[in-house]
């Protein structure tokens, strides 16, 4: 499940071309969450329970399951006193309370950028703001954030729902957002909200994460140059689904999302000379390499990597896991293995 990217093959002249987006694949939050489960399995032994999918990717979940991770839908499915990992998407305070009541040993692998949004929600609720959470109802990240202040937060799924928003005081309204949304659609939603509520306050910093923005920007750069865009990522991965939408909006004549190379239909490429390729932020690089191999079989042999940003960010492992690894190693801190070229960005 290593997310590291090996050297990209040199461009070739024969056959069709592949424009390979960079950055792509694992973000720092996903890398940390997957590493947390792997290191917990290695240190504590199986089973390690995981509430929901640790990240939204079929391959990753299946691989961790084979190593002894047990994925459950709710906390009450975890045996009392067992060890459970909370996914990168975050959980509400109610879930933490349920875990404590069952005496569970928790490892919170919530992405630090999601935690930042949770803290914003708590702070604005304490100041008695009406909080508009731009995001997708039912997504685990949205459920976790809304759970921080359910009496103050209402979810808006996009521009089409702005007219439904009702607030107590138009001068005390703030917006926050899910971290994996389409940048352009979020900006349009906020623009319409501001038309209704001119005093709408902004969060102190942008909520859409650096990785989501970088991957969308890379897709926008190559979409006008390709005949078909392929996005590797799972259907329940918000950021992967958005990448397909962004590709179409940015000029790709056709775009398809696949979990695995075997899902590729040769008919998609009839008459195509150039294929664009990217992957969502929860996708290990091995799946991209499999797609490149499959495209090679279909006559697309030249690979050109198009880089629009360089990433240099990594997050340390969850505190209690890090402490246990340090104690077991005689005082040396547990190492978090960065498996993706990280971003030129600080958070």
Report the Cα 305 to chain-centroid distance in Å: 22
The predicted model gives 179-204 an average pLDDT of: 96
Q: H helices of the chain, where? A: 28-44, 58-66, 93-101, 112-126, 140-146, 183-196, 210-222, 238-249, 285-297, 319-328
Q: Is the per-residue pLDDT at 161 higher than 90?
A: yes
Report the Cα 237 to chain-centroid distance in Å: 7
pLDDT of residue 14: 43
What predicted TM-score, i.e. pTM, was given to this entire model? 0.90
Query: 175 to each of 90, 120, 125, 172, 181, how far by Cα in Å?
Result: 19, 10, 12, 10, 14
Q: Give the integer Cα–Cα distance in Å for 197 and 172.
A: 9
Q: Is the per-residue pLDDT at 9 higher than 50?
A: no
Q: How confident is the model at residue 331 (pLDDT cuts 50, 70, 90)?
A: confident
Q: Is the per-residue pLDDT at 58 higher than 80?
A: yes
pLDDT of residue 337: 53
CB atoms within 10 A of CB 159: 17
Q: How confident is the model at residue 340 (pLDDT cuts 50, 70, 90)?
A: very low
Length of the chain: 347
Q: How confident is the model at residue 3 (pLDDT cuts 50, 70, 90)?
A: low
Q: Pick from 76, 85, 74, 75: which is nearest to 47 by CA?
A: 85
The mean predicted confidence, pLDDT, of the chain is 92
Residues 6+ apart with CB under 8 A from 129: 152, 172, 173, 174, 201
pLDDT of residue 10: 45
Q: Pick from 4, 16, 27: which is nearest to 304 by CA?
A: 16
**Angle, CA of 266, 268 and 274, to the nearest 5°:** 100
Q: Is position 141 annotated as part of the catalytic site?
A: yes
The residues that bridge with 130 in the sheet, in sequence order, are: 173
The predicted model gives 286-312 an average pLDDT of: 97
Concatenated DSSP letters of 236-268: T-HHHHHHHHHHHHTT-S-EEEESSGGG--GGG
Q: Is the per-residue pLDDT at 80 higher than 90?
A: yes
53, 141, 143, 340: the catalytic one is 141
Q: Is the per-residue pLDDT at 341 higher than 80?
A: no
pLDDT of residue 335: 52
Q: What is the pLDDT of residues 13-28, one digit of tens each?
A: 446 999 999 999 999 9
pLDDT of residue 5: 52
Q: What is the pLDDT of residues 97-146, one digit of tens each?
A: 999 999 999 999 999 999 999 999 999 999 999 999 999 999 999 999 99
Q: What is the pLDDT of residues 81-102, one digit of tens each?
A: 999 999 999 999 999 999 999 9
């Amino acid at each position: 499940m290593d997310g590291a990217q090996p050297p990209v093959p040199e461009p070739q002249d024969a056959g069709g071309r592949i424009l390979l987006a960079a950055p792509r694949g694992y973000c720092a939050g996903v890398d940390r969450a997957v590493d947390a489960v792997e290191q917990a399995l290695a240190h504590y032994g199986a089973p390690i329970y995981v509430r929901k999918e640790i990240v939204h990717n079929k391959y990753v979940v299946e691989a961790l399951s084979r190593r002894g991770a047990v994925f459950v839908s709710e906390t009450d499915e975890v045996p009392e006193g067992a060890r459970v990992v909370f996914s990168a998407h975050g959980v509400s305070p109610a879930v933490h309370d349920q875990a404590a009541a069952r005496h569970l040993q928790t490892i919170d692998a919530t992405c630090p950028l999601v935690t930042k949004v949770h803290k914003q929600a708590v702070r604005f609720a304490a100041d008695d703001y009406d909080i508009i959470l731009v995001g997708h109802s039912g997504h685990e990240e949205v459920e976790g954030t809304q759970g921080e202040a359910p009496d103050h937060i209402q979810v808006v799924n996009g521009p089409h729902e702005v007219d439904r928003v009702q607030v107590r005081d138009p001068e005390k309204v703030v917006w926050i957002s899910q971290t994996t949304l389409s940048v352009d659609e979020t900006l349009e939603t906020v623009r319409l909200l501001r038309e209704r509520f001119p005093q709408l306050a902004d969060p102190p910093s942008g909520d859409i994460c650096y990785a989501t923005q970088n991957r969308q920007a890379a897709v926008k750069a190559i979409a006008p140059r390709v005949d078909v865009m392929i996005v590797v990522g799972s259907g329940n991965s918000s950021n992967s689904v958005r990448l397909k939408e962004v590709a179409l909006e940015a000029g790709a004549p056709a775009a398809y999302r696949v979990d695995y190379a075997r899902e590729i239909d040769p008919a998609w490429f009839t008459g195509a000379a150039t294929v664009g390729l990217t992957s969502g932020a929860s996708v290990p690089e091995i799946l991209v390499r499999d797609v490149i191999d499959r495209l090679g079989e279909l006559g697309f042999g030249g690979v050109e990597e198009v880089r629009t940003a360089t990433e240099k960010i990594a997050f340390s492992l969850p505190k209690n896991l890090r402490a246990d690894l340090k104690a077991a190693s005689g005082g040396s801190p547990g190492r978090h293995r960065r498996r993706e070229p990280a971003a030129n960005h600080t958070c």
